[in-house]
Amino acid sequence: MQNILQHFQLGELNSGVSTGNSWLHSNGEKIVSSSPVDGKVIGTVQAADRAAYDAAISSAQKAYPIWKAIPAPRRGEIVRQIGEGLRKNKEALGKLVSYEMGKSLQEGYGEVQEMIDICDFAVGLSRQLHGLTMHSERPGHRMYEQYHPLGIVGIISAFNFPVAVWSWNSMLAWVCGDVCVWKPSEKTPLTAIACQRITAEVFAANDVPEGVSCLVIGNRDAGEWMAADERVPLVSATGSTRMGKSVAAVVAGRLGKSLLELGGNNAIIITENADLDMSLIGAVFGAVGTAGQRCTTTRRLIIHESVYDAFKDKLVSAYKQLRIGDPLDQHNHVGPLIDQDAVKAYLASIEAVKAEGGKFVVEGGVLSGAGYESGCYVKPCIAEVENHYKIVQHETFAPILYLIKYSTLDQAIALQNGVPQGLSSAIMTLNLREAEQFLSNAGSDCGIANVNIGTSGAEIGGAFGGEKETGGGRESGSDAWKAYMRRQTNTINYSTKLPLAQGIKFDF
Ligand code: UN1
C-alpha cells in the first residue's frame, strides 16, 4: 500500500482543499482516514474551513466562463484523457478504494471501470447535447430549444462508492460546460485526493485553468455550506435519506436545484416460476456484495410460498460457504463494514428485528481474532420477518437480508412497494405475464426494475436513481445529463410582421 500512497503523493498529513493542482491551506479539523481492513491509519487530511471553502468556490467561479467557452466536443476530448488517466491508474486506484473503503478488490477495480465507462459515455455525449425543434404556430417563425451549462455543480458523495458516484456527476457536468466542487465522504478522503491528482494533471496538460475541478474535504458543515450557497446552482447529493432531506430543504429554500440519490430498500420477488439457481446468485451477491453497503443492496426477498422453503435452504447453505475477511485477498467474498459506527448500527438492527418478532435463520455477529483486528467484520445474516416491521421499513447499511413469504403476485408487488424507499427492484420469473405485470405501471414503483437479475450492479448507460425517499434524481446514463444544464426555448421571427401568439390583435 505504501507505494500506492506514494504514487498518489499521499503523505501523513494532506491538504483537503484543492482547486486542481493547487492545494490550499486551511485551519479545519484533522480527519483521520483509517482502513476498515486492518484498522490502521492510512493518512490524515486537514478539512476545509470556511475560508478555504470560499477560496475554492471563487476559483470555480473564475474558471466557469473560460471552461464553458470551450466547445463541448473539445471538453469531451479532455474528459477522454481523464478516462485514459483512470485506465493507467486502474490498479492503484482500485486497490486504494478497496483498502480505504473495505470493498473487495474486484469491486474496487469494478468501481474504477465504472469511472472509465462514464468517461467514454461523456465523450460521446459531448457531441449530443441536443434539444428539440418545434413548429411555430406563427408564419415566418422558427422555434427550438437549447441547453446551456448551469455554473458550479456541488457534488456530495458517500463512502460506499467513494469515487464512481463523483465521476458520474463530474464527467457529465464537465462536458455540459459546468465546473465542479466535490465534497467526498469524510470516511474516504484519500481516494478523493487520488482522483483529484489524476484529473488535475489532465486539466493542466490541456491549459485548463484551476477551478474546473475543486475538492473540498470536510465534515457535515462543508455540505451545509454548499447547500446554502447561492453560487452553487445545482447540488447533487448521494447518501442517507436524512442527509438528503436536509440538503433538499436548504437548497429548495433558495430555489436552487438538487439531484438526490438516497436510500434504497430493494427487494427481489422470487416467483414460483423462477430459476432458483439464478435467483440464488442474484440474491446472495445483492445481499452480501460490498458487505451490504450499496444503495442497491438486496435487503428483502419476497418469495412465493411454494418455493419458500426450498429457496431458504439454498440460501442457508450458500451463506455457510461465504468467506469473510481481508477484501484485498481475492478468495474472500465479504469484507468489513466501513467503521465501528456501522457495526453498532448493524447490531442494533439485529436486536430490533428480534424485538419485533423476526426469526434469524442465519445468525449475525461481529468477528474477532486474527485478521479481524479492525473490529469491522460482521457475519451476513438472514431473518424471516414481516414487511411492516419498523426495522424492515428502514435501510440498514449492512448485510442483513429479510425473507418475506407471499401467495399472489399482487400481494408480492404490494409488499415490494410497501416501503418508503424506491430505488431498485427485481423479479425472478420465466413467466412473461409475471414479468410484464411487474414492469407495468401497476408493478414496481422503483426507479430501477429488473427481470432475472438482482437489484445491484446497475450499468452506467441507464439513468440511475429512484422514487419516494430515494429522492427522485437520476444520474449517469440516458438523458440524466439534462439535470446539469438549463433549458432555453428560442423563438426567432424572420418575417416582416410581428404576429402575436394565441391570435391576439394589438393595433395602435
Ligand atoms: C450506490 O450504492 O450509491 O448499481 C451506487 C450499483 C452500482 C452503483 C451503486 N453501479 O450497485
pLDDT of 378 higher than 90? yes
- pLDDT tens digit sequence for 66-110: 999 999 999 999 999 999 999 999 999 999 999 999 999 999 999
pLDDT of res. 326: 98
CA-nearest of 181, 179, 175, 192 to 154 is 181
CA 298–ligand 1 middle distance (angstroms): 11
Please give the domain boundaries of the chain with CATH numbers for all domains: 2-262+471-488 (3.40.605.10), 266-459 (3.40.309.10)
- pLDDT tens digit sequence for 254-285: 999 999 999 999 999 999 999 999 999 999 99
State mean pLDDT over 46-65: 98
Q: Which amino acid is at 360?
A: F
- pLDDT tens digit sequence for 237-254: 999 999 999 999 999 999
- CA angle at residue 79 from 73 to 84, to 5 degrees? 130
CA 424–ligand 1 middle distance (angstroms): 10
pLDDT of res. 263: 95
Per the rule left: phi > 0, alpha: psi between -120 and 50, beta: everything else, 20 is left
Indicate which residue's Cα is closest to atom 6 of ligand 1.
Answer: 457
Share of the chain above pLDDT 90, in %: 99
Residue corresponding to grid cell 410460498: 305
CA 295–ligand 1 middle distance (angstroms): 6
CA 175/CA 485 separation, integer angstroms: 10
- The count of other CB atoms within 10 Å of the CB of residue 439 is 15
Alpha helical stretches, state H, 356-456: 409-417, 432-439
State mean pLDDT over 8-13: 96
Quick check: 307 and 435 in contact, CB under 8 A? no
- pLDDT tens digit sequence for 444-456: 999 999 999 999 9
pLDDT of 507 higher than 90? no
State mean pLDDT over 6-19: 97
CA 424/CA 464 separation, integer angstroms: 9
Phi, psi (deg, nearest 5) at residue 140 = 65, 30
Q: Which residue of 238, 288, 296, 459 sits with most ligand 1 atoms within 8 Å of its CB, as the best mutation to test the pocket?
A: 296
Quick check: 181 and 216 in contact, CB under 8 A? yes
261 is a catalytic site residue: yes
Q: What is the number of the ligand 1 atom nearest to the C-alpha of 424?
A: 4
Indicate which residue's Cα is closest to atom 3 of ligand 1.
Answer: 295
- pLDDT tens digit sequence for 278-321: 999 999 999 999 999 999 999 999 999 999 999 999 999 999 99
Q: What is the number of the ligand 1 atom nearest to the C-alpha of 456?
A: 11
**Distance from the first to the final alpha carbon of the chain:** 80
- pLDDT tens digit sequence for 208-247: 999 999 999 999 999 999 999 999 999 999 999 999 999 9
Q: What is the number of the ligand 1 atom nearest to the C-alpha of 289?
A: 11
Q: What is the number of the ligand 1 atom nearest to the C-alpha of 460?
A: 10
Q: What is the number of the ligand 1 atom nearest to the C-alpha of 261?
A: 3
- pLDDT tens digit sequence for 322-367: 999 999 999 999 999 999 999 999 999 999 999 999 999 999 999 9
DSSP letter (8 states) at residue 160: S
Helices (H) and strands (E) in the chain, counts: 14, 23
pTM strictly above 0.80 = yes
- Sheet containing strand 152-156, edge to edge, reads 17-18, 213-216, 179-183, 152-156, 234-238, 257-261
CA 407–ligand 1 middle distance (angstroms): 31
Indicate which residue's Cα is closest to atom 7 of ligand 1.
Answer: 457
CA 416–ligand 1 middle distance (angstroms): 19
CA 99–ligand 1 middle distance (angstroms): 18
Q: Which residues line ligand 1 (CB under 6 A)?
A: 160-161, 165, 238, 294-296, 456-458
pLDDT of res. 23: 98
CA 417/CA 479 separation, integer angstroms: 25
pLDDT of res. 494: 98
- pLDDT tens digit sequence for 459-490: 999 999 999 999 999 999 999 999 999 999 99
CA 293–ligand 1 middle distance (angstroms): 9
Quick check: 235 and 33 in contact, CB under 8 A? no
DSSP 311-332: HHHHHHHHHHT--BS-TTSTT-
Q: Which residue of 185, 446, 456 sits with most ligand 1 atoms within 8 Å of its CB, as the best mutation to test the pocket?
A: 456
Q: What is the number of the ligand 1 atom nearest to the C-alpha of 238?
A: 3
Q: What is the number of the ligand 1 atom nearest to the C-alpha of 296?
A: 11
Single out the catalytic residue among 100, 114, 210, 261: 261
**Beta-bridge partners for 213:** 180
- Mean pLDDT score of the chain: 97
**434 confidence band (pLDDT: 50, 70, 90):** very high
State mean pLDDT over 137-163: 98
CA 274–ligand 1 middle distance (angstroms): 25
Q: Which residue of 106, 241, 425, 464 sits with most ligand 1 atoms within 8 Å of its CB, as the best mutation to test the pocket?
A: 464
CA 109–ligand 1 middle distance (angstroms): 14
What is the complex's ipTM, to 2 decimals? 0.97
CA-nearest of 64, 77, 67, 68 to 127 is 77
